[in-house]
Amino acid sequence: MLKIWSIKKDNAQAEKKKPKVSAAQIRVQKDLTELELPSTMEMSFPDESDLLNFNLSIEPDEGFYKGGVFRFTFNINNNYPHEPPKVRGIQKIYHPNIDLDGNVCLNILREDWKPVLNLNSVIVGLQYLFLEPNAEDPLHKDAAEDLRTNRKSFEYNVKQSMRGRDVKGNYYDNVMAKN
């Protein structure tokens, strides 16, 4: 028979039953356990046996959004890292790059995702959105327009929205940190 059918066994290891563990699972284990979460972020798992679904909260310590706690859900599928994690905000907030349904406009979550990126890159990207909201890539048009034309008014509106008050006819969720 053809020689390619027998693989050389260097040692006994080939005889041991190899586990059925998906490459996505191992990659998530690697990404998660090497996360360097800043003190402004916290992670939680609705079901700790499922590492593919978790929540992340961000409590910015500077910028427009200081004082609020912003929550996101992460959903990773078995095609990770070929596909990016799905990230969604769970509160209604006033932010140029996040719409009222929690969709996040962050390039590496969609068109610029690459398998060499990891969860840390996504988390850094999210953090950055709160420090430097970007009026050029609007997902929430009013908020972007506001930021572009008048930073003072934008700042005021952000503060109002974070307390659960209405901004231009829309009520937002109260996201203030409870001390």
Partner 1 sequence: MAADNSTTAMQTDSRDWADRWRHINKILDRRGPFCDNSFREGYENTLLPQCKVLVIGAGGLGCEILKNLALSGFKDIHVIDMDTIDVSNLNRQFLFRPSDVGRPKAIVAAEFVKNRVAGVVVTPYHGKIQDKDDDYYKQFQIVICGLDSVEARRWMNATIVNLSQELGEAIPIIDGGTEGFKGQARVIIPTVTSCYECSLDMLNKPTTFPICTIANTPRLPEHCIEWAYVLEWPKVFKNEKLDTDDPKHIQWVFEAALERARQFKIAGITYSLTQGVVKNIIPAIASTNAIIAAACCNEAFKIATTSAPYLDNYMMYTGNEGVYTYTFQHQKKPDCPVCGENSVNVDVNKNWTVEEFIEWLKEKPDAQLKKPSLMTADNKKIYLQAPPILERSTRPNLEKKLSSLIEDGDTIIVTDSTLPFSLQLVVSLI
- What is the closest distance, in whole angstroms, from the C-beta atom of residue 18 to partner 1 in the complex? 5
C-alpha distance from residue 58 to each of 66, 95, 110, 155 (Å):
10, 14, 21, 18
Residue carrying the six token digits 């009026």: 135
Residue 81: which residues within 8 A CB-CB, separation 6 or more? 24, 27, 115, 116, 117, 118
Residue 28 vs 175, nearer CB to partner 1: 28
Count of beta carbons in the 10 Å neighbourhood of residue 155: 15
Q: Assess 18 for contact with partner 1 (CB under 8 A).
A: yes
Q: Assess 147 for contact with partner 1 (CB under 8 A).
A: no
Which residue in the list 56, 105, 126, 147 is annotated as catalytic? 105
Active site residues: 105
Q: Which residues bind partner 1 (CB under 8 A)?
A: 1-7, 9, 11-23, 25-27, 29-30, 32-37, 42-45, 48-49, 51, 78-79, 82-83, 97, 99, 101, 103-105, 107, 109-111, 113-116, 137-139, 141
